[in-house]
Structure 1
Amino acid sequence: MGSVTMKIEEKHAGNGSLVGKSQLYIREQHQANHKPAANGKAEGFVKQVADGNGGVPRKSLNLYSWQEIQRHNQEADQWLVINRKVYDITGWADRHPGGRRVLNHYAGEDATDVFRAMHPELDIARLYLKPLLIGELAPEEPTYERNKNSQLVEDFQELRRTLETMNMFNANLGFFFLHLIQILILEALAWLMLWYFGNGWPITICISFLLTISQAQSSFLQHDTGHLSIFKKSKWNRLMHRFVMCHLKGLSANWWNYRHFQHHVKPNIYPKDPDIDMGPLFLLGDLQPVKYGKKKIKYIDYEKQHLYFYMVGLPLLMPIYFNLQSMQVMYLRKYWGDIAWVSSFYIRYFVTFGPFYGIFGTMLLIYLVKFLESPWIACVTQMSHIPMKMSREENRDWLSTQVLATCNVEQSFFNDWFTGHLNFQIEHHLFPTMPRHNYHKAAPLVRSLCAKHGVQYVNKPMLKAFGDIVRALKKSAALWVDAYYET
């Protein structure tokens, strides 16, 4: 590192520390591969931390400026900052349980709030961070990037501490157990009706209705198990998530995790949020339609996308788009555990309904239920994001990133049940590990903080929220038309 040397004095006891050895190896690699030069902003300066024996240097860390950190934002060179500490996550990204893309989305940025938001078990996550530490922000550097409102960030962090003190992140096991019982009763009732009354058309319609409700509520429960620490031990959370997502839903848990976590960390941001990349079928927001229009791209008549949304988007989201994508990802990435669990979903249906409908009839029943569930899930998941701001990366603070890209739907018993409490989308996005039975308690505090800092907090009736999906698609279609036919 030129005139700058990194001094590391490891304390050895017995056979040494695995974490300490990992840290030493990574820092040696950092010395070899990264050669920051001192530039007057404390880049490459050395901080010596005294131990308790008369000020003898025990460990030294490089000090970095934001300018240096922001240069390391590529897939092959990723640094990020958490609580003023600088981490080189390049080599770790492929082993990240949440997927490498989630990390890459924050490369070169402060990730303090997103790290806290996305990890229900912080102690475990911090163990993985230790060997990746390469330095810290120089003393004269602000804690957050200069474009961010530091007072807003600190107020949000204080809000989170308040909610933690109020035990808002503690899950009520009985709440989720009752939702699981509801799902199992609906499925059992469907089979009992078929067994008792036979497989005539009226009964088939009734059991399809029951199974549709069961599948929709399973979608909301798997969403909970994918985010929360419902149980005290991680293995039970993972098992519950696989049971609900793979066995009850017939979709890959790993596929959902990697896709959904990207959406959470950078919602409505091109190209980081996979949920807003629905081309070539739909063009969303203000940027994508103009881009397609200027390039004279017309795979479909996008001017009518708000109309064919009813015929394509609503009924085919679950049975075609999600189902095929889940199967493709499981096969290509060789998720053998997920494949076994998803197979149990189909085996259960064939064992339960096969004697009445046969193999072909049972497959028709499965896809009829997914077809009926699809409009429900499509409306609930899209009403909170498609009508909201979509942009390229602007490196906003965590609160602004989430609130500007999401909206709430008014609370009522039906709205809560129908949406699986995802009508509180703002609170869910700000605090993904908060159990949904506490969203309504956090909402007034979040609204107050948004009002203090002039951040728009949108809360609307459900029917308006559904209508806004189509109105947003129509607006995007008009932008495409203008750009496409521009001379």
Structure 2
Amino acid sequence: MSTSTPEAPSSAPGAAPGPTVGGAAAETRAAARRSTTPYGKLTALVQEAGLMRRRRGSYWTRIAATTAAFSAVAAGTVLLRDSWLVLLPAAALAVVITQFAFLGHDAAHRQIFATHRHNETASHVFAALVAGLSYGWWMGKHTRHHQAPNQRGVDGDIESNVLSFHEEAAAGRRGPLRWFTRHQGLFFVPLLAFEGFVLHIESTRSLLTGKRTKRRWVDASLIVAHWGVYASSAVLLMGPWKALAFFGVHMAAFGFCMGGAFAPNHVGMPIVPREKKVDYIRRQVLTSRNVSGGWFVDLVMGGLNFQVEHHLFPSMPRPNLRRAQPFVRQFCAEHGIPYTEETFLGSYRSIIRYLDEVGLAARNSFSCPLVSQLRS
């Protein structure tokens, strides 16, 4: 078995299949076929441990709890509608809707239900109807991200008109934007407050242009229903000015929740050049960062704190990611692949330090782990 260039199966981006239809014998034969590569052996281990099996009970409990929380926030909004304290439920609403967005993410990866149709329906409901974001738009860019995380020219998540996530982008900045880029680490956390607005603007733009958006009219209908109910309920309950303030607080809190959960996953990890070919496992592991912590970190990050395991096995149900971590850690240790895990606060320190280094074009002080791996 080679220890230098483990390869992914042809079904990359790496979603290990669920239990094979046809019984235990068929599943055993399929596992034997997959075990011919290092990645296949790792896949067989997590399969044998039952980590790819659906966790319907866990997900239905999570859906019920999130729905109950949404109802409580709605009740609190009604009770506080005559007071400016109603802005407190606005922030709470952002937290709850973020949890629905995480469920939409899990369904999009086929983690919840057995059939693609049911998962896709759930994704449309959670993303478009509840969160007000186009599922088709998100699915398109997220698929490209999983195929080539942190790779220039493929992963749109590392291209921004505001922040520079790599030195090539920073070098092209001019005027006031150049000054901003040199200090971008300082502005990173405050900018998260605008992430909710940005997500909705990009989602709406994709629906209007029709580019790379699957089932555009389904999303559009659900999003119109979302904002119709939202706006009419807010104005009728609180009046226009208080409703506008409610919306502003909600969007800012939503930005912190969403951006705060996604930023630690890849920001500050190695950037892959446009034409560079990297084997599947190193591409997924070296560009991903895990965030350590207990149940609270699991909750606020929607399970994405196990980013390495999620990228290796996108269809693995969220509750199983923690159980998969020892398998992946051992695999990486055996094959000499650096496995990155930091605390939540530690991940943000790394992000801010990295953004400052990029802004200052500090090439001599930044050593790319990916380049080191490739050279070795």
Shared fold (TM-score, shorter chain, > 0.5): yes
| Aligned match for 2:325, one of 425, 432, 443 | 443
Equivalent residue of 2:361, what SS?
Answer: helix
Distance in 2, Cα, partners of 1:406 & 1:414? 20
Return 447-456 or 178-187, whichever deviates more. Answer: 178-187
Q: Any idea what the Cα deviations from partners look like across 1:341-378, whole Å, max 9, x if unmatched?
A: 11121122235433212456435423421211212321
Among 303, 313, 318, which residue is 2:196 paired with? 318
- 1:202-213 map, 5 Å: 202=85, 204-213=86-95
Which residue does 2:341 correspond to in 1?
459
State the alpha-carbon separation in 2 of the partners of residues 201 and 284 from structure 1. Answer: 39
In structure 2, distance between residues paired with 1:250 and 1:327? 9
Deviations 1:410-439 (A, max 9, x none): 131111112111110000011111011001
Match of 2:261 in 1: 380
| Structure 2 alignment gaps of length 5 or more | 1-6, 22-34, 365-376
Structure 1 segments of 4 or more deviating over 4 A?
Answer: 118-123
Residues 113 and 398 in structure 1, CA contact (< 8 A), matched pair in contact too: no
CA contact (8 A) 1:281 1:300 kept: no
CA contact (8 A) 1:306 1:474 kept: yes
Query: What is aligned with 1:170?
Result: 53
Instruction: Give the corresponding residue for 2:221.
Output: 340
For 1:212 and 1:477, locate their aligned partners in 2 and report how far apart those are by CA, in whole Å. Answer: 31
Q: 1:357 aligns with which of 223, 228, 238?
A: 238
Q: Is the 8 A contact 1:116 1:122 kept in 2?
A: no
- 1:184, distance to aligned residue in structure 2 (A): 1.8
Distance in 2, matches of 1:121 and 1:445, equals: 19
Q: Which structure: greater helix fraction? A: 2
1:114 counterpart residue number: 12
> Normalised by the size of structure 1, how large is the TM-score?
0.65
CA distance in 2 between counterparts of 1:119 and 1:388 reads 28
Q: Do 1:416 and 1:422's aligned partners in 2 also have CA atoms closer than 8 Å?
A: yes
Q: What is the one-letter code of the residue matched to 1:303?
A: R
Determine the structure 2 residue equivalent to 1:261. 143
Partners of 1:314 and 1:375 within 8 A in 2: yes
- State whether residues 14 and 311 of structure 2, in contact with CA within 8 Å, keep that contact through their aligned partners in structure 1: no
Give the 3 Å change call, closer, same or farther, for CA 297–444 of structure 1 in structure 2.
farther
Alignment partners' CA distance in 2, 1:364 and 1:444: 46
Task: Report which of the two has the higher share of strand.
Answer: 1
Work out the CA distance in 2 between the residues paired with 1:344 and 1:118. 36
CA contact 2:81–2:238 (8 Å) conserved in 1: no
Amino acid at match of 1:323: H
CA distance in 2, matches of 1:158, 1:400: 16
- Amino acid paired to 1:196: L
Residue equivalent to 2:188 = 309
8 Å Cα contact 1:285/1:390 also seen in 2: yes
- 1:180 is matched with 63
Q: What's the CA shift string for 1:5-31, capped at 9, x where partnerless? A: xxxxxxxxxxxxxxxxxxxxxxxxxxx
Deviation at 1:192, TM superposition (A): 1.6
What is the Cα deviation at residue 457 of structure 1? 0.3
2:358 to 453, 470, 476: 476
Amino acid in the other structure paired with 2:316: M
Name the amino acid aligned to 1:114. A
Larger Rg: 1
Tell me which amino acid in the other structure corresponds to 1:338.
D
The correspondence for 1:400, drawn from 282, 285, 299, is: 282
Summarize the Cα distance change of 1:403–1:481 in structure 2 as closer, same or farther, 3 Å threshold: closer
Q: What displacement does 1:299 show?
A: 3.9
Q: Which has the higher contact order (CA 8 A, sep 6+)?
A: 2
* Aligned twin of 2:206: 329
User: 2:114 matched to 1:232?
Assistant: yes
Alpha-carbon offset, residue 481 of structure 1: 10
Q: CA deviation at 1:153?
A: 8.5
Alpha-carbon distance in structure 1 between the residues aligned to 2:234 and 2:282:
49
Aligned residue in 1 for 2:32: none
CA distance 1:371–1:396, change in 2 (3 Å): same
Structure 2 length normalisation: TM-score? 0.83
CA contact (8 A) 1:384 1:408 kept: yes
Q: Show the counterpart of 2:312.
A: 430
Report sequence identity in percent: 22
Report the 3-state secondary structure (helix = DSSP H, G, I; strand = E; otherwise coil) of the residue aligned with 2:329. Answer: helix
The Cα of 1:122 is off from its aligned counterpart by 9.5
Gaps of 5+ in 1: 1-108, 124-151, 483-487
Q: For residues 405 and 221 of structure 1, what CA distance do their matches in structure 2 show?
A: 24
Residues 284/153 of structure 1: CA separation in 2 closer, same or farther (3 Å cut)? farther
Take 2:45 and 2:19, find their aligned partners in 1: how far apart are those partners?
18
Instruction: Report the equivalent of 1:126.
Output: none
Partner of 1:282: 163
8 Å contact 1:247–1:341 — kept in the other structure? yes
Given the alignment of the two structures, is residue 220 of structure 1 paired with residue 133 of structure 2, yes or no? Answer: no
Cα separation, 2, equivalents of 1:458 and 1:434: 20
- Tell me how many residue pairs correspond in the alignment: 339
Give the direction of change, closer, same or farther, for the CA distance of 1:115–1:273 in structure 2 (3 Å limit): closer
Alignment-derived partner of residue 241 in structure 1 = 123
In 2: Cα distance, 1:194 partner to 1:180 partner: 21
Name the SS of the counterpart of 1:473 in structure 2. helix
Q: 1:229 to 1:384 in 2, by over 3 A?
A: closer
Per the alignment, in what secondary structure is the counterpart of residue 479 of structure 1?
coil
Change (3 A) 1:359 1:153: farther
| Distance in 2 of aligned mates of 1:384 and 1:241 | 21
Is the 1:245–1:253 Cα contact (8 Å) retained in structure 2?
A: yes
Aligned mates of 1:363, 1:153 — CA distance in 2: 59
Change (3 A) 1:318 1:198: closer
Q: What residue is the counterpart of 2:271 in the other structure?
A: 390
Name the counterpart of 1:366. 247
